[in-house]
Structure 1
Amino acid sequence: MLNQKISRRDFLAAVAAVSALGLAGCGGTSADAGSASASADGDLLAQISDRGEMVFATEGTWSPWTFHNEAGELTGFDIEVARAIADKLGVGATFAEGEWDGLLAGLDSGRYDTMANGVSVTPEREEKYDFTEPYAYNRIVVITTADSDIASMEDLEGKTTANTLGSSYATLAESFGATNTGVDDFNQTIQLLESGRIDATLNDEVVFYDYMNQHPDAALKIAAENDEPTHVAFPLRREAATESLLAAMNEAIAELREDGTLAELSQEFFGIDITEA
């Protein structure tokens, strides 16, 4: 029996339980016991282990990060990375789909454990959320019609763009003087661009190439790109209850990088490896 192996899920649950017992070990009153129970219940990793699933918020409309394939199945780079992390934690992955501006609100309220949606790490978001170690590094580009005279980020001054409200793309465009229109998803953005209702949109380089592979006749181009790649990571609520989950996810990401899983998934969905800085 001493040599019997335990599953990663059982190990993580045991760690959470030991932590909770440690919190209660210094007192003997019923009030202390109640406090310890609340601490155990509040540990998100323990909750995930108990329920046997981890809930990821995602759009499901942003290929190749998160989308539905021809069979209607949810997949994409982020989706498969999320599934691999959940597997490392010994649980299943469940996905709640919605529009971007509601995903972070759902994370804030505790409806979701985290987000799998190519979330860029920004100074503003770091003030509110804890982020895992990056699992991808992304370059933001300016997408325009083929005949546009935009040639740099500075040329966005006075121009109109469209992106989902609260996205890093909208924030970046506005920082260069553009007026942003809120949209629901990338497809709506492209419709506005091709109809001439906006001058440009910002998005990932890999998203642009994926779209062009599916629409080779689209009269679009990359007009400019941001100098520095953005770090892509999983956001977690900044609270004591998420600390053990953050550590476990970081360990899983390190293992997936080491065993080549991240690079393989990147090649599968992007055709290049964007998992190394």
Structure 2
Amino acid sequence: MKKLFKTLLVTASAIGLVFALNALVPSKAQAASSLLSSQAKKELKDSDTLTIGLEGTYAPYSYRKNGKLTGFEVELGKAIAKELGLKAKFVPTKWDGLIAGVDTGKYDIVLNNVTITKDRQKNYLFSTPYIYTHFALITKSSSNLTKLSQIKGLKIAAGTGTDNATVAKKYGATVVPSSDFTTSLDLIKQGRVKGAINSMAAWYAYKKDHSTKGLKATDVSSEEDPAKIGALMAKKNTALQKSVNKALAKLKKDGTLSKLSKEYIGGDITKK
């Protein structure tokens, strides 16, 4: 009887030890959610979801292919959400109201190739940069325009309120509003503008599926430093900012950022 009792006691102790050890080893879900602090979770629109604002019409960052939302920032959003142990929900919004959507609580963050600027940092928080965008001056192939210093007084196409428009104005151009990349190229072809300012990444992505005959793009990073791009969020959400930064650091370290950049943009622009 004593022997049987000892055997049962040893068995019970062993089982207890196994359970204790298992409890010390976090599951994948637990490890992911550990990047999301309890305070950051309170700052979310929905506690189990990372709600992301983007345009959904700006290749290669976010666009629709066969009706499905895809692109570099779409996949990045999914990866960040996964690292935080959350579901990713995307809310396509037009550019002119996109950033304001953070103020109204329409979504938690904006992933839309938004440049980190001093003016924006006065009202919003940004994550650490996840890509660096080189500006491009796009013109007709026959044009002798190759530098930003040459566009003063000329009509240049750029999206209203975008960093492209800011650069055009900085160098003295007259900005002609353009709703999207294709429209900018059409304005050049029609001779309504002398050129357009956008990104080299957008140019490379467009060339994959469209003809650029009669047009050229010049990298003007020698005059204008690459723009630092980060996730934008409400000024009050400091805990969320820290959690997103942790997720981005992990994605950069394991090569996910670089892989997504090469897949959707055609090169690694995750480094300056």
> Normalising TM by the smaller chain, what interval?
0.7 to 0.9
Say if 1:12 and 1:46, in contact at 8 Å, map to a contact too. no
> Which contiguous aligned blocks of 4+ residues in structure 1 show a shift greater than 6 angstroms?
none
Return closer, same or farther for 1:10/1:138 CA change in 2, 3 Å cut-off. closer
Query: Match of 1:264?
Result: 259
Q: Which residue of 2 aligns with 1:135?
A: 130
Residue from 232, 235, 257 that aligns with 2:232: 235
Question: Among the aligned pairs, what percent are the same residue?
Answer: 32
Taking the TM superposition and a 5 Å limit, the aligned residue runs for 1:1-277 are 2=20, 3-4=22-23, 5=26, 7-8=30-31, 11=34, 15-16=37-38, 45-48=41-44, 51-69=47-65, 71-223=66-218, 225-227=220-222, 228-239=225-236, 242-277=237-272
Q: Distance in 2 between matches of 1:114 and 1:276?
A: 22
Inter-partner Cα distance in structure 1 for 2:35 and 2:136: 40
The separation in 1 between residues aligned to 2:243 and 2:169, in whole angstroms, is 36
- C-alpha contact 2:200 2:219 (8 A) present in aligned 1: no
Q: CA deviation at 1:115?
A: 0.9
> What is the count of residue pairs matched by the alignment?
247
Q: Is the 8 A contact 2:35 2:246 kept in 1?
A: no
* Contact in 2 for aligned 1:146/1:221 (Cα 8 Å): yes
Q: Which runs of 5+ in 1 are unaligned?
A: 17-42
Is the CA contact (8 Å cut-off) linking 1:99 and 1:184 kept in structure 2? no
* Aligned residue identity for 2:230: A
Shift of the alpha carbon at 1:273?
0.9
1:136 to 1:12, Cα distance in 2 relative to 1, 3 A:
closer
In structure 2, the CA distance between the partners of 1:229 and 1:102, relative to structure 1 (3 Å rule), is: same
Offset at residue 47 of structure 1 (A): 4.6
Cα RMSD, aligned residues only: 2.0
Structure exhibiting the larger radius of gyration computed from Cα positions: 2
Q: TM-score, structure 1 length as denominator?
A: 0.83
Give, in whole Å, the separation in 1 of the partners of 2:32 and 2:212.
Answer: 49
> Quick one: distance in 1 between partners of 2:252 and 2:32?
20
Structure 1 partner of 2:8: none
**Does structure 1 conserve the Cα–Cα contact (< 8 Å) formed by 2:45 and 2:51?**
no
Indicate how the Cα distance of structure 1 residues 168 and 86 shifts in structure 2: closer, same or farther if over 3 A, else same: same
**TM-score after normalising by structure 2:** 0.84
